[in-house]
Amino acid sequence: MSKEKEQKQPMPPIGAWAPAVALGWLIPGGGHFLLKRPGRGALLLASVSSMFLCGIMMQGAMFQPQSGDMLTTLINTGGFIGDMCSGILYLMSSWFGYNQADLAGHVHDYGTKFLVTAGLLNVLAMVDAFEIATGRKE
């Protein structure tokens, strides 16, 4: 490895990367569109949105934070954060009153997992936008 790679690079100013990361959370792929990467942005928008919509069509449940024993708190809070990471998709479904009870059955269970996974995929997209905005990745 070269010495440039071994040295820790200073953190760029927040104004250089925060708009791309914030827009990337709100609109999946939005940070990439802002960074002039329309192909990657369109792919992310299509992937996250289709995964979220499949979860809705399978009548997946949205997680809500709950207290109780440690495992219940951890699972529900983690699922809630995963759902929220979908940005505007989560906000719009909440605003329009989507509230599916947690039903027994494989399809509903997969739908719940699709909803959380869409948010986690969007987190990866935000990390990618951060790395591009800071110059760590092309």
* Integer angstrom CA distances of residue 73 from 33, 65, 69, 116: 36, 7, 6, 16
pLDDT of residue 3: 54
Is the per-residue pLDDT at 6 higher than 70? no
Q: Residue 45 CB: number of other CB atoms within 10 A? A: 19
| pTM score, whole prediction | 0.85
Per-residue pLDDT of 48-96, as tens digits, reads 999 999 999 999 999 988 888 999 899 999 999 999 999 999 999 999 9
